[in-house]
A and B are shown apart, each in its own frame.
Chain A
Amino acid sequence: MYDECVRAVTGAARMGCLALAAGLPFLASCSVNGVGAVAAHVQRGGGATVVDTYSGGAMLRTETDDAGFGLGVRRRTEIFAPGAGVAPAPGWYFLHVPAPADKVLAFDERMLGLDVTASAPQLGVTLGLRALTVFAAPGGDDALDFRLRYDSEYRIRTTLVQYQGGPACSLP
């Protein structure tokens, strides 16, 4: 009986050590709301600002439109329409994400690992690979009129055309 207990404890300890060794690289890096182990690439597409954010390790997010906790690697591309906020200069940024103050018009996200999501469009837990693309998510009271083209392989070619005033301005 004693030997069985010792074997069970040492077996569990061995598994714990293996799990810890496998998870150490992830535990060593972390980010909170885009600050920490992140790299961001800001690009200006046609009429839109495109921000790619690459993060790895443990990730804690508390923004309204991006909330949750993850452990793994993640790429999130956010498309912003030009607005009142000051858009960051194009280029690479490290250790922080210079997101514009404007509202995200659309986003495209890839996550590999464990992720607990607490923001729209779906709340829940994912273990594995998740790809999420939100084509448009305006608020119920937003008045919008736009055309957006996006290709995840050529994000610099993102184009956004905003129409002002409805049909009179888009009639041929």
Chain B
Amino acid sequence: MLTPLIRIIAASTVIATTGCAAPSHLMHYQRTVVGFDASVATQQTSGQIVFGYDRRMVAVVPKTIAEGGKKNAMSIISCTDAEAGFTTVRFEERLATGDAAKKYAAALKAKPQASSFNCINQ
């Protein structure tokens, strides 16, 4: 009876240890499951097996990204307002990455009292 479960766990472990390394993409999501679920996150070295109910709110920000053949720290500035019900979801996402995020950071450094990055509901 336990054999299929052990196989799934073994498969999950293999995927988790071989398919996932350091995250390379920004990923921001919510995931809800009711029933059976066996999965691994592509941007993390983690897996899960669920019987029943599970909800996750996940934000994965890569530490480094490839830019022009070199590895640099990812520049990002973000605000999220999310409201998730059982079958509905509403959200507001304010996001800047790359050069835009660097400009916001520079503007904030130059004028700390002035908010150039309008967040949620402002």
Q: Which secondary structure dominates chain B's binding surface?
A: strand
Q: List 30 A-B contacts (CB under 8 A).
A: A120-B25, A122-B40, A122-B41, A123-B39, A123-B40, A124-B38, A124-B39, A126-B33, A126-B35, A127-B37, A129-B34, A130-B31, A135-B28, A135-B80, A135-B82, A138-B26, A138-B95, A140-B66, A141-B65, A141-B98, A143-B97, A144-B95, A145-B95, A146-B95, A148-B93, A152-B90, A153-B88, A153-B90, A165-B100, A166-B104
- Tell me the smallest distance from the CB of A170 to a CB of chain B, in Å: 6
Question: Which chain B residues lie closer than 8 Å to A62 at the CB level?
Answer: none
Q: A170 touches which one: B15, B37, B47, B116 (CB < 8 A)?
A: B116
Of the candidates A119, A127, A147, the one having the most CB atoms from chain B within 10 angstroms of its own CB is: A147
We find that the number of chain B residues with CB closer than 8 angstroms to chain A is 60
**Which of B's residues lie within 8 Å of A, judged by CB?**
8, 12, 15, 19, 24-43, 47, 58, 60, 62, 65-67, 74, 78, 80, 82, 84, 87-104, 106-107, 114, 116-118
Q: How far is the CA of A145 from the CA of B76 in the complex (A)?
A: 10
Question: Which chain B residues lie closer than 8 Å to A110 at the CB level?
Answer: 87
We find that the number of chain A residues with CB closer than 8 angstroms to chain B is 47
Question: Which chain A residues lie closer than 8 Å to B27 at the CB level?
Answer: 120-121, 134, 137
Q: B98 touches which one: A119, A123, A124, A144 (CB < 8 A)?
A: A144
Which 6 pairs, one residue from A and one from B, show the smallest C-beta to C-beta distance? A128-B35, A124-B39, A143-B98, A166-B103, A140-B65, A167-B116
| A15 at the B interface (CB under 8 A) | no
A121 near B42 with CB under 8 A, answer: yes
| A132 at the B interface (CB under 8 A) | yes
Q: How far is the CA of A151 from the CA of B94 in the complex (A)?
A: 15
Q: Which secondary structure dominates chain A's binding surface?
A: strand
Interface string of A74-109 (1 = CB under 8 A from B): 000000000000000000000000000000001010
B40 near A163 with CB under 8 A, answer: no
Q: Which residue of A lies closest to B59 (CB)?
A: A135
B89 near A133 with CB under 8 A, answer: yes
Question: Which chain A residues lie closer than 8 Å to B97 at the CB level?
Answer: 138, 142-145
Q: B95 touches which one: A128, A136, A171 (CB < 8 A)?
A: A136
Q: A135-B80, A152-B90 are in contact. Are A145 and B96 (CB under 8 A)?
A: yes
A150 near B29 with CB under 8 A, answer: no
Q: How far is the CA of A106 from the CA of B29 in the complex (A)?
A: 9
